[in-house]
Structure formats: structure tokens, C-alpha cells
Amino acid sequence: MPVGLVDSTIFLLPLPKLIGRMDTKLITDKIVAAALDVGFSACGVTDTQPLNEQGKHLQNWLRLGYNGTMKYMENNLDKRLNPSLLAEASKSAIVVLLNYKPERTIATDKPQVSKYAYGTDYHFVVKNKLNRLLRRIQTEIADCRGVAYVDSAPVLEKALAVKAGLGWIGKNSLLINKQFGSMTFIGTLFVDIPLCYNTHIVPDGCGNCRRCMDACPTQAIVAPRVIDASRCVSYLNKTHRGTVPEDLQTLVGNRIWGCDCCIDVCPYNKQTPVHNTQELMPRDELFELDLAAISKRQLKKLIMRLPPRNQSGTGS
């Protein structure tokens, strides 16, 4: 069966011949190296055991109604809290980060679009790279089957990234990586082979800093690592259905897609390198068009741009 790219991105390939008898440490090292080689910024590996601690936090967050109208967050809690239920026979989670910090940004006096949306829809970019990584593993490293997810399934990606040693959760609830800050996309590849799992959890690096909390225009960060999504600008101008509450309309300001306030003030994002992923390079349209004059539907179509037809995911 040829490689397929569907919503759940299930890859089922004929199992290649195992290349020698390598121990799990060597296999894991080769997988991490392959992930970096296909273009990811960082990679870590963890198990698929239940996320019990994160489960308590999620259930309390839902109980307080902080998910707003995102009722889908209340579904499939068993799978969110137990990654092994997402993919049959999955034993390991290969977690990757892809830096998206751009070299140039939209002038502050112009309608603002969140930096993550400057290039091609990241779902496609990250999935294509995970596609390549899985093929590399299957053909060069070890027999396995895999399932890849990029923000498209009930996966607690940030929790898995922390377990994989890729960073800690900042007070704005985003994953912070020491080298790349919080401007990263997270992708997860579940495989059915045992690997060598991370044992070092990166300590909290936020300390007494509360710049992100103070910078939030709508005070959506109600406590460290607790976001009231119903007040978050990114939720209000992207996800919320209906009219934005009057008391929040003026606070949204000129942000028409997403919000980067808590990201921009984070000290860990100041000295991080800009990305070099061609598919994520800023599009001139976002800098040249009168974004304030286009409808939300037109804007969504522009933001969620598909890869060019000739882009097969073979580029890094």
C-alpha cells in the first residue's frame, strides 16, 4: 500500500528488512538525527503512557468553562489523556519542533496577522516532514508502523513535548524551548516499536517573570499556565462564532488573525534564530494587501494556504 496522507495521516508501508540488530538507544539516536536531517528544529522521544497529571489540569480547565465554545475539547478525553489509545499498538511518541520565527514582521501600525500564519499552512508543512521522517525510519533504521498528528487529533502535544525533554510550559501556556523559544510548531509521530525514552524533564525557566501575563490585552491569562480561551484574542478573531463581546472588541485592536502579544514579550524569544524553512517564508500578500478591507472568509482562505501542487514534501 503506497504512502497515504489523510486526515489522521496513517502511513502503512510494507515492512522493510531490518538493518542489523541495533539496540533501542542506537535506533533512537538515529531517529533523532533523521528528524533534524529532514528539517525539524528539535526532536525528543517519550512513551505513550497515560498523562495523569495533565488530565487533572485539563478537567479543571473544562469545568471552569475556559474552553469557550470549543466544545470539541470535551470530547475524546480518554484519548487525550492516554496517547496509546490514539494509535493501535503504539509504544513510542517521537515529538518534533519546527521553528517558525520569521525574519520580517508586519509593521505594528498595520492590521496584524499572527506570525505562525505568515507562510504555508503549518499542518501541511509539518505533516510532509513527518511523512519523510517515517519513510526514513522504515527504510533505513527499523521496521515499524506509524501514525502522525499535527494539531488535528485529541493529542496533548505540549504535554508530550515536555515529557520528551523539549522544554517547559510557560505562564502563557505555550511550550518554551531554550534554543527556539515558544515560536515552534509541534508534531507527533507514534510508532509501534520501543525506543529509548527521555528521563530529564526541563525545569521551569520562567521564575518570577510575568511579562506575558501583563502584556495580554484581554487579561486572558487568569493564572500562570491557565488561559481563559473565551477572552483570548486568538480565540476571538479566529474561533469564536458570533459577535465578539462589546467589552472585548476594543481590546482586540488591529489584530485580525491571532495574537502574538504574549509571545513578543517573552525573553526567550528575543535571541532565538529565525527559521530557514522555505514553505514558512512570509508571503508578500500579507504585507501588501489592505487586510482590513477583506472579509474574514477571504482572510481565512489566504491564511490557510495549501502547498503548491508541485510541493510533495520532499524539500526540507
Rounded to an integer, what distance in angstroms lies between the CA atom of residue 275 and that of residue 103?
8
The residue type found at 205 is: G
To the nearest 10 degrees (0 to 180), the angle between helices 24-37 and 122-136 is 140
| Active-site residue (options: 29, 151, 192, 264) | 151
The one-letter amino acid code at 68 reads: G
Q: Which three cell numbers stand for residue 154?
A: 485529541
Nearest to 212 by CA among 203, 202, 224: 224
Active site residue 151: yes
Cβ(115)–Cβ(101) below 8 Å: yes
**Strand pairing partners for 11?**
146
pTM of the model: 0.88
Give pLDDT, residue 308.
52
* CA-based torsion, 36, 38, 40, 45: positive or negative: negative
Regions of the chain with pLDDT less than 70: 1-22, 289, 291-292, 305-316
Specify whether the CB–CB gap between 226 and 217 falls below 8 A: no
Q: How far apart are CA 165 and CA 142, in angstroms?
A: 23
Please tell me the distance from the alpha carbon of residue 88 to that of residue 194, in angstroms, as a whole number: 14
The string of pLDDT tens digits covering residues 235-249 is 999 888 778 888 898
User: 3-state DSSP helix/strand/coil percent for the chain, to nearest 5?
Assistant: 35, 15, 50
Tens of pLDDT, residue by residue over 19-36, are 334 589 999 999 999 999
Q: Note whether 62 and 55 are within 8 A (CB).
A: no
Phi, psi of 189 (to 5 degrees): -120, 115
The backbone torsions φ and ψ at residue 304, rounded to the nearest 5 degrees and listed phi first, read: -85, 50
Hey, what's the cell of 76?
475524546
What is the pLDDT, as a whole number, of residue 6?
34
